[in-house]
Structure 1
Amino acid sequence: MKSIYLRLTAGVFLASLIGCQNNKINSPDEHIVMQLQQQALSSDLAYDLVESLTVEVGPRLAGSEKDLIAVQWAESKLKTLGFDKVYKEPVQVPVWHRGEAKASIVTPFAQPLVITALGGSIATPEKGIEANIIRFDSLAALQTASSNDVAGKIVFIDQITERHITGKGYGKSVGGRSKGAIAAAEKGALAIMIRSIGTDHDRMAHTGMMKYKDGVAKIPAAAMSNPDADLINAMLKRDANITINLMLTAQNQGFATSYNVIAEVTGSSKPDEIVLIGAHLDSWDEGTGAIDDGAGVAIVTAAGKLIQDLPTKPARTIRVVLYAAEELGLVGGKAYAKAHKAELDKHYIAAESDFGAGRIYQIDYRASETAYTELLALTTPMTNNGVVLGNNRASGGPDVSMLPSQGVPVASLRQDGSDYFDYHHTPNDTLDKIEPAALQQNVAAYAQFAYLMAQSKITLRPIFVK
């Protein structure tokens, strides 16, 4: 955390320090903001919601039967919680079935490997693929390799994901997962296997979406556990020729209809202006989707409920959006932006919770430079909840990341992601990874943010262009 503080400007740090040390209430809005924090920190609602979702629904891969059960669950919960308006919007989502995934080292030392298919992968032939591997440190190294060296082999991308509070190591290594099959196929590879995009040492493989490209052959794609990647490296020290047998039965099965599920707290004086707080409802099928993104669903829903229950509603409408099919390519986010294009100019600001349940340590914005300075003053009360005031370079989160290009201001409520990629996209993404007190702190931050933005008199546009 010290490194985060040191990177802040002196002015921002001072504003944060003053906010943390000064509990004086200067306005009715600040009084309500403090009440929201106290209520959130004493409420079990968010934990109850994520427990319900993971126990009563569980894994909910977009396009699956469980996906529609999750939609029904969300509608029912939001209506029971008493939001002013609850509705859903259809989204066409790809349907992919994981099937079986098996791999083993055939020579020089026969051993089984723990793997999982990457999302969207095709199957191998029925008897699998057996071939020598060729190892690369990164996607970039593969892209510069000779086709003569790669053709007829199984590519192995062995990039290690760095652990960091911001999760920035993921951005450095994820290209191998998303684009590796294309690069490998362009050079004649038969299949691709990657070191899992994760920071753990567990013998569990991390799944995640991969891509194909029109005009380029589709090849099977899988991830292996980090210990198995280490095993292969140790084996390569002894013999440069390693033969692997890979078998996948994954299937792409067309498209189905899922839904973005939406709830609103109607604004009291500016009901047509929207403060959006979102999360994604779908999950991968390996764990129960607790941290990705059941926690986010619970956080924004509980935050919206706190505001719904206020005696006097804030000026703007608070819109809670539970997006469909984020894991399969931000499908719900893109569908929302398209469906609401005519009213995006009425979206005052948007933010998304999709980074687990670690405590929020900083809030960043993407607004005009003038508005940014005013926002720091407006949101200083959030520092009492341990949130440092950050910079003006926010992306907002995956499903709202396309909104800034259309002029919509966004905020990023930064969560501590130090251990997020230990569990991300694995069978280990389960409820026990969530700390109830940290979840409550997130709810407090989102409730404060949403309320302050709904009451704000600051002109946020035109937003800062990177």
Structure 2
Amino acid sequence: MNYTKLFMASAVIAFTFSTAQTQQEMVKSIMNEAYSNSQTEKLAYELVDGIGPRLVGTPKMKQAHDWAINKFKSWGIDARNEQYGEWKSWERGTSSVEMVYPHVKSLEGMQLAFSPATGAKGVTAEVIMLPTFKSKEEFNKWLPKVKGKLVMVSQYQPSGRPEYNWKEFATPESFEKYKKETEAATREWNQSLETLGLTWRTLNKPFEDAGAAGLVLSNWSRGFGVNKIFSAGTKKIPAVDISLEDYGQLYRMLQNGVTPKLKIVANSKDRGMAPTFNTVAEIKGSEKANEYVILSAHLDSWDGGTGATDNATGTVMMMEVARILKKLYPNPKRTIIVGLWGSEEQGLNGSRAYVSAHKDQMPNVQAVFNQDNGTGRIVNVSGSGFVNAYDYLGRWFAAAPSELTREIKFTFPGSPGGGGSDHASFVAAGVPGFMLGSLNWAYGNYTWHTQRDTYDKIVFDDLKNNVALIAILTYMASEDPEKASNEKMRLPVNPRTGKAAEWPSVQEPIRKGGVD
């Protein structure tokens, strides 16, 4: 008998058993900490209610970065702010929109981000509705009418009921009529903008240049009581968004020969330029310190609501994962990095800046786990176009209890995508980056970029599930004896061009924003 071989085989079996036992114990400890000692509610309160919306360049954004650093340090985790550029600095104040003729009524609305202030007396003027046009010449003849007026520049919506509500209660004939009429109106509106060479991003400038007193928008989000809140797109005149209901009333008054008059007061502050940052936290690796597992979420938000599900939830998850791992797994094999990115909303600027500043790290990144689409439990994971992602992701996910993974649908190898969230910045650099897609919870209509994206929309049971799962994945990725493969798939032929699609290219961030 070959006792040497027998001893070696026994040692391998013992090591494998010991490793599996250690993994099971760690998974059990992570699950217990994630559910029995969760800090998610407290973190969310401090970030969402305590600090509020985190628009790039604002004092609130800097406050959030500093808050995150202090939290990490209180857990014994090294953290820093990395500056990558600067942005127009603007601070929201109080704002009001009132109808003062034909009768007095406070309208539901708010100043749009980066909108100029009005001064204490505000702006009082009649409203005028932007019609649709068949030609640019027709528009140019009409444009002088906006001088001194508040211009309504959004499409009129005759019904504030979302389509699902119509479908549930209307007769089939009534529902089809509703759909046909609304789709026709939308086509006409969009065709008019196309004829004028305008988009929703560039729509406001011609009116400002023509001497309008201000702009009134209503960017309906196709749900009861929700509007998208974005940038003003003006430099000198105020721009406000008001509810569909109030916008519709103004429109119908105009249609019936009554010209309403509004008073807008907006008390924002222009603070010049401010630095833009990423907050980066690090738990140093003990054996492979120059290999990395990156936890990714963007800290910034739009500021209609308080940025709860876009993306305080992702931020809180990744911070809570770091807290748990520092407590239970303080000496990971690979370095664990938490990146809380700035200015994702303006084009992935923070994560692109990190990739640019840390080019030397990119070949050594084991995986990037990114969370950015709401409050729901993780149910969709794509391989992001990496040929062997099914192998190592399969091993890591297999370590998690079935109650965390049973709903997840995997797509392998998936595709690299075009840049919807921060993992794309890493994927473009050839790094295995994965979006951990959440259950919908009506995110697209009701919270994504709306004024209703607030603390009360967070589903903490789902957040705790996600924290446990991401902590387990991070532990497994750190412990894995193998470096994850970053081999890319061969992309399919584009039927329009007849050529193979190309892998996304690395993009530099905007280093000086909000000044155009």
TM range (shorter): 0.7 to 0.9
Alignment-derived partner of residue 71 in structure 1: 65
| 3-state SS, counterpart of residue 254 of structure 1 | strand
CA distance in 2, matches of 1:441, 1:425: 24
Alignment-derived partner of residue 443 in structure 1: 467
1:462 aligns with 2:488: yes
Alignment-derived partner of residue 129 in structure 2: 134
Question: Residue by residue, what CA displacement relative to the aligned partner does 1:324-372 show, whole Å, maximum 9, x if unpaired?
Answer: 344566543343233223433333433433333222221223132x224
> TM-score, normalised on structure 2?
0.67
CA distance in 2, matches of 1:387, 1:144: 54
CA distance in 2, matches of 1:207, 1:314: 42
* 1:287-298 alignment, distance < 5 Å: 287-298=305-316
> TM-score, normalised on structure 1?
0.74
1:336 aligns with 2:342: no
| C-alpha contact (below 8 Å) 2:124/2:261 kept by paired residues | no
| 3-state SS, counterpart of residue 366 of structure 1 | coil
1:274 aligns with 2:274: no
Letter in 2 for 1:157: S
| C-alpha contact (below 8 Å) 2:295/2:336 kept by paired residues | yes
Alignment-derived partner of residue 304 in structure 1: 322
Shift in Å, 1:69: 3.6
Alignment-derived partner of residue 406 in structure 1: 429
Alignment-derived partner of residue 107 in structure 2: 113
| C-alpha contact (below 8 Å) 2:122/2:266 kept by paired residues | no
Change (3 A) 1:331 1:181: farther
Question: Residue by residue, what CA displacement relative to the aligned partner does 1:421-449 show, whole Å, maximum 9, x if unpaired?
Answer: 53455665443332221110121232233
Shift in Å, 1:261: 1.9
CA distance in 1, matches of 2:22, 2:137: 57
Q: How many residues align?
A: 424
Alignment-derived partner of residue 411 in structure 2: 390
1:158 aligns with 2:184: no
| 3-state SS, counterpart of residue 341 of structure 1 | coil
Q: Aligned to 2:141, which of 130, 148, 153?
A: 148
Letter in 2 for 1:130: A
Shift in Å, 1:272: 1.7
Alignment-derived partner of residue 368 in structure 2: 350
Shift in Å, 1:57: 3.7
Letter in 2 for 1:390: T
| C-alpha contact (below 8 Å) 1:351/1:397 kept by paired residues | no
Change (3 A) 1:193 1:372: farther
| 3-state SS, counterpart of residue 355 of structure 1 | coil
| C-alpha contact (below 8 Å) 2:290/2:335 kept by paired residues | yes
Shift in Å, 1:396: 7.3
Any unmatched runs of 5+ in structure 2?
Answer: 1-17, 165-189, 191-197, 492-502, 505-516
CA distance in 1, matches of 2:136, 2:26: 51
Letter in 2 for 1:31: Q
Alignment-derived partner of residue 89 in structure 1: 82
| C-alpha contact (below 8 Å) 1:350/1:410 kept by paired residues | yes
1:193 aligns with 2:207: no
| C-alpha contact (below 8 Å) 2:221/2:450 kept by paired residues | no
Change (3 A) 1:281 1:312: closer
CA distance in 2, matches of 1:430, 1:461: 40
CA distance in 1, matches of 2:309, 2:440: 11
Alignment-derived partner of residue 388 in structure 2: 371
| C-alpha contact (below 8 Å) 1:47/1:439 kept by paired residues | no
* 1:108-257 alignment, distance < 5 Å: 111-123=105-117, 128=123, 130-135=125-130, 146-153=139-146, 154-158=151-155, 178-182=201-205, 191-202=214-225, 206-209=228-231, 211=233, 220-232=238-250, 234-235=252-253, 238-239=256-257, 246-257=264-275
CA distance in 2, matches of 1:439, 1:374: 26
Letter in 1 for 2:460: P
Letter in 1 for 2:377: R
Letter in 1 for 2:379: Y
Letter in 1 for 2:364: K
CA distance in 1, matches of 2:454, 2:220: 18
Alignment-derived partner of residue 422 in structure 1: 446
Change (3 A) 1:107 1:55: closer
The percent identity for this pair of structures is 25
Change (3 A) 1:176 1:278: farther
Alignment-derived partner of residue 499 in structure 2: none
Change (3 A) 1:108 1:51: closer
- Which one has a bigger Cα radius of gyration? 2
Question: Residue by residue, what CA displacement relative to the aligned partner does 1:301-343 show, whole Å, maximum 9, x if unpaired?
Answer: 1112333334585543221112234456654334323322343
Shift in Å, 1:107: 6.1
